[in-house]
Amino acid sequence: MNPTALQTALELYLAHLTVERGLSANTLLAYRRDLTRYTAFLESRGCAAPADVAEPDVEDFVVAVRSGSDGRTALSASSAARTVVAVRGWHKFLLLDGATGLDPARAVKPPAQPKRLPKAISVADVERLLDAAGVGAGPVPLRDRALLELVYGTGARISEAVGLDIDDVDRTPGRATVRLFGKGTKERVVPLGAFALEAVESYLVQARPALAVGGTGGSPGVFLNTRGARLSRQSAWAVLRVAAERAGLAEAEHISPHTLRHSFATHLLAGGADVRVVQELLGHASVSTTQIYTMVTPDTLREVFAASHPRAQ
């Protein structure tokens, strides 16, 4: 059977992706799978060539892949979004190549991704994690405990924590702070709580000098590796991963430095902090970014219902 005009146009596009874009075999396979489903859908609607495709055809295809109404597996929002990217790329290519005079997919947007609650761990699990980080003798456990205490105690991103210099830490009792440099070098000053301050003090006095001996450049970084250089983000990740495993936390392999940042925000809001204060502490440009932490979980709904409704129990 001779290929249809749509199938021929698809093969030309896949050849373009292979030769001009140099995409990997797996990526090309995904493009072929998504666009083959798309061409079959178009042909079922009587579209024989790329020029026959109109915007409603593209929109209806997005509905079909989400619902499975084309007789194939319904896709999640993220998988459907990937398919829409492939469709839009193909139509843009067809327009630039002169095969069509219009781009029917230009205004079609991928399906909205569902908002997910940031993952946070309980206060008890945080305490277990911090205790596990400080297990052992020598300067490294003191450093690891101080690092994780600071990340959880300030909501710092891991890049902000390892980027700290000695001069960025004000250890004055009662008004201790750290100066963090976030995205776009945006600066913010965050209070350093008593537990984090104690851990940082212990590290700076008892451990950092021993780590600094191994270096030759006199790094100004707060957190140093065993060679006396600034601790890297990758090493900081390893510190957390080892501590999570040692603490025996559930799904320890999925706990990241951002988990502590999420936990910082979640625990503050649960304690009654105003969302705009949390926004400032996290360094979010918009309060809408912070508001995801205010989403009520199903567990919270059940707890409040059970405690508040006269006929709940």
Domain 5-96 has CATH 1.10.3470: no
Residue 216 is predicted with a pLDDT of 66
Over the chain (313 residues), what is each successive 10-residue block's mean pLDDT?
86 91 86 95 94 95 93 90 94 93 91 69 91 91 95 90 92 88 81 91 93 79 91 91 90 83 86 83 76 62 70 68
Among this protein's residues, is 233 annotated catalytic? no
Residue 24 is predicted with a pLDDT of 83
According to CATH, where is 1.10.150 located in the chain?
5-96
Residue 5 is predicted with a pLDDT of 92
CB 146 within 8 A of CB 156: no
Would you call 256 exposed, middle or buried from its count of C-beta atoms within 10 A (0-12, 13-18, 19+)? middle
Among this protein's residues, is 261 annotated catalytic? yes
Among this protein's residues, is 183 annotated catalytic? yes
Residue 89 is predicted with a pLDDT of 94
Among this protein's residues, is 293 annotated catalytic? yes
CB 259 within 8 A of CB 269: no
* Catalytic residue selected from 128, 157, 230, 262: 157
* Catalytic residue selected from 183, 186, 254, 302: 183
Residue 214 is predicted with a pLDDT of 73
Residue 105 is predicted with a pLDDT of 94
- The pTM assigned to this predicted structure is 0.60
Which sign, positive or negative, has the C-alpha torsion 147, 152, 155, 158? positive
According to CATH, where is 1.10.443.10 located in the chain?
123-302
Q: What letter represents residue 240's amino acid?
A: L
Domain 123-302, what architecture? Orthogonal Bundle (1.10)
* Catalytic residue selected from 88, 145, 261, 267: 261
Question: Which string of b and e fits 93-103 if b means at least 16 CB within 10 Å?
Answer: bbbeeebbeeb
User: Of the candidates 107, 158, 170, 154, which has an alpha carbon nearest to the alpha carbon of residue 265?
Assistant: 154
Residue 46 is predicted with a pLDDT of 93
Among this protein's residues, is 203 annotated catalytic? no
Q: What letter represents residue 110's amino acid?
A: P
Among this protein's residues, is 284 annotated catalytic? yes
